[in-house]
Structure 1
C-alpha cells in the first residue's frame, strides 16, 4: 500500500512539472513558382537571426505551402521563411546584399534591411496558432 501511494504521489509530482506544448501552423499562398522548397525557421529572442530552434522545409504546390511546428512550449517566437528556388539549401543574395529569393516573416513586416525581432515576434499561449505569411 505504501509503495502504491508513493508511486501515485511521484506520478502526480511529475505531471505538475510537465510543460504544456502547442503548435504553430504557417501557410504561404503566394509563392512565385513551384520550383524548389520553402524553408521555415522558428526563433526565440535569444537566437533570432542565428541558429533556429526548429527548421522545416516544405514542397510547393500551385504556389502554396504550409508547415506545422509541433510540441512548442508557450512563449514569444518569430518565424522567418524563404523560397529556396534553386534548392541549394540557403538564401541567395545579389552582390549588393539584396536577396535573390523571396522571403517573409511572421507579422508580414516588409522593411528595408533584415527583419527585426520586435517586428516579427508573436505570442504562443496554450492554444495552437495559425499564421499566414506573404512573400
Structure 2
C-alpha cells in the first residue's frame, strides 16, 4: 500500500464510506431531528414561562382611614391586571368577549378599555349585571402606545399579554374555552398577569 508524504496510510476504497454507513446504521438523521425537536420545545417552554420577577401582592379591597380592609363594592367584579414592565408609560388594554366567534377580535369585544398602569398594575370595576353568563378576558401592555399588540417572527407577541384564568398556550393564543369564566354571583376580584 503506498504511503503519502506525511506518513499517513491511504484509506482503502472500503474505508471511505465507513462513516457514512455508520451514520445511516445508527439512524443519525433521525437522532439529529429528535435533538432539534427537543431544543425547539425547550425554547417554546422558556418563551411561554412567566418572568422570574416576584409577584406584588396587593389587596384589592379598599382601605378606610383606620387602615382596615373594607369589603368590595356591591355587585361588581374588579379586574386587576399586573405587569412586570414598571417603567413603561404605555397603557394596559383590556377586552372582554362573550363568544368564541368574537374572541381575539377587539373590535367585536363587549367591553374594551385602556388605563395607564401605576406601580405596575391597573384595576377595572365592572358591574356584574353588564357581563354575560360566560365571558373571557384578554389584556396586553401596549408598551409603545400604538394601539396594537406588536408581533415578531412567527407572529409571536413581543409585548406583555395575558388572559383570564392566566391561560397560556405553547403555540398561539389560548382558546376561548381555556379562558372562559362564569359570571360571579357576588362581588369578586380577579388578577391577570401580563408577561
Q: TM-score, normalised by structure 2?
A: 0.54
Greater share of helix residues, 1 or 2?
Answer: 2
Write 1 or 2 for the structure with the bigger share of strand.
Answer: 1
Match among 28, 43, 55 for residue 81 of structure 2: 28
- Deviation at residue 74 of structure 1 after TM alignment: 4.3
Indicate the SS of the match to 1:134: strand
Tell me, in whole angstroms, the C-alpha distance in 1 between the residues paired with 2:124 and 2:84: 14
Which consecutive segments of 4 or more residues in structure 1 shift more than 6 A?
Answer: none
Q: Distance in 1 between matches of 2:189 and 2:183?
A: 10
Structure 2: distance between partners of 1:74 and 1:111: 25
Structure 2 gap ranges (5+) = 1-74
Whole-Å Cα distance in 2 between the matches of residues 99 and 106 of structure 1? 17
Q: Aligned residue for 1:97? A: 155
Q: Give the corresponding residue for 2:186.
A: 127
Q: Does 1:64 align with 2:121?
A: yes
TM-score (norm 1): 0.76
Aligned residues: 114
How far did residue 63 of structure 1 move? Answer: 1.0
Q: Is the CA contact (8 Å cut-off) linking 2:83 and 2:141 kept in structure 1?
A: no
SS in 1 for 2:189: strand
Q: Which has the higher contact order (CA 8 A, sep 6+)?
A: 1
Structure 1 residue aligned with 2:13: none
- Bigger radius of gyration, 1 or 2? 2
Contiguous gaps of at least 5 residues in structure 1: 1-21
Farther-moved stretch of structure 1 (40-49 vs 67-76): 67-76
Q: Hey, what does 2:40 align to over in structure 1?
A: none
Deviation at 1:99, TM superposition (A): 0.2
Whether the 8 Å contact between 1:38 and 1:65 is mirrored in structure 2 is yes
Across the aligned residues of Structure 1 and Structure 2, the Cα RMSD in angstroms comes to 1.7
